[in-house]
Structures are given as C-alpha cells and as structure tokens.
Amino acid sequence: MTARTLDGRATAKTIMESLHQEIGHIRTSTGKTPTLATVIVGDDPASHTYVRMKVNRSHQVGIEPRLIQLPKDSTTERVVEEVSALSEDPEVDGILVQHPAPPQVDEEKAFEAIDPRKDVDGVTSSSLASMAFGGEGFRSATPGGIMRLLESYDISVAGKDVVVIGRSRILGIPMGLLMLAENATVTYCHSKTSDLAQKVAAADVVVAAAGRPELVRGDWIAPGAVVVDAGYADNTGDVEYAPAAERASWITPVPGGVGPMTIACLLEQTLLAHKRRNHLP
C-alpha cells in the first residue's frame, strides 16, 4: 500500500481563490476591506518568515494586513496594551499574536486581550469553549485547517479512533475538541505517554503535533490509517514519512500539507469576522 497525498497546497489554493472573489465583491459593493492585524514580538527568524507568508497571502486575496512589530524585550503589559488597542480599533477585523513570544511575555495574557469577535486564530478561552461546545466562535487556525483538509477529501472521522499527539492550547487541545465534535473517539498523547507506539498502532487517524521531528515511527502506523503531520522543522515533520506512507491510506506531506491550510483558515476566518461585524450575509 502507498498512501495517497492530502494536498494542502491544492486545497488552500481553492479556498484562496474563493476568498479573493468574495472579498472583491464585498469591496465593490460596500467599499470596505477586511483587515488582519498581526502582533509579533522579537526577532525569531522562523516567526518573521511565517508572518511574511501571511502578509503575502493576505494581499493575494484582498485582505489588508497590518503588522505591529515589538522589540524582543517587550513586557507582557506592552503586548497586552497593543492587543487591547487593536481589539478596540473599529477598522480591525482579525487579530493574530504570533507564537512563540519571548519567554518574558505571558502568551496567555496576550491571547486573552484579543476581543473574541476578532480572534481569527482561535486562541482565546472563549474560542476554546466554542470548539468544545459547538458555539459560533472561531476555530484554532491549524486544527481548523486540518479539518477543512480532511473534509475536502471526504474523509470522515465519525466513529473513528483518533490519536492526537500534543496538547498545546493552539494545536493539540483544540484539535481533539474539533475531532470530538465530529463524533470521533479521541485519545490525547504527549511527552508523558508511556505506550505511545501501541496507542498510535490502534488509531484510525493520527494527528502528530508534538514538534519533535520523526517522533512517530513509520512502522507504528496501522495499515490504512490516515496520518496528519502538523510538525515542521527543517522540512521534517513529526512522522517518519517514507515508511509511514507505505502503510497509511492518506498522509500529509511536509511541507505542503498542514501549513498552507493554516493560513487559508486564518484568512477565511478573517473574512467571516468582517462579515459578522458588518452584518453581511
């Protein structure tokens, strides 16, 4: 068996084309443009590269990007002040606080300063509660992008055993909540899980989001399982790709799988926030 590819680039391109068309129509009919503000603290090269990608993609679909760059020695209070100002700014539809922030910044406080109506990255407690209880808040961008990718390939998780490896508030935890909402049976695994290989081997769907390159060995994957790799470090994911692809039915490439879907979901939710705030259908 050789796994088929869950092509995030192709799926994201379709979403982006649809966004471009709809945003163009909104701009023509209302004269308004959705705006996404990004707050980045410090000079982490990977974060700045990712932010540039988001800015470029925003321009492509017609979203106005606003970038707020803060020095690496910024305090939590300074970051919260900037985020709070954006929350109160009537011209801003979506707010993103780039992760990770320097260690002296309390990210949770920065996240919680985001108006939930503008939390297009799905990082506030309000958004997490919405994902848990089926509210109208925003999905966390990477988990939301993963769900959109599975949906685009008609892969249902209902009734399936899903293993999520990782428990961060921006990826692992919301990933499990979204899977649970689609009637999957979810097992969370993490650095303290003692029998990871056995749990992965019993899964119909594996979502690897631990941030540890090739943590998941290919021969752990059950024949026919779906593998979603949300890890990324030097073009290497959390899953040992080649042997896993020999066993899985579907698998995401790294890069080209989850990453493009994260940005597409973020921009899609920015448009949704704009429509809600302006009472558009």
pLDDT in tens, 132-158: 998 889 999 999 999 999 999 999 999
Count of H-run helices and E-run strands, the chain? 10, 9
pLDDT, residue 79, reads 98
Which residues are part of the catalytic machinery?
Answer: 54, 98, 121
Domain boundaries, the chain: 30-115, 141-259
Cα three-residue angle 114-117-121, rounded to 5 degrees: 60
Domain 30-115 has CATH 3.40.50.10860: yes
pLDDT, residue 233, reads 84
Cα three-residue angle 277-94-114, rounded to 5 degrees: 100
Share of the chain above pLDDT 90, in %: 95
Fold identical between 30-115 and 141-259? yes
Considering the domain 141-259, what is its CATH architecture? 3-Layer(aba) Sandwich (3.40)
pLDDT, residue 259, reads 95
The maximal CA–CA distance of the chain, rounded, in angstroms, is 57
Mean pLDDT of the chain: 96
Answer positive or negative: Cα dihedral of 209, 215, 218, 223: negative
The neighbouring-strand residues paired with 171 are none
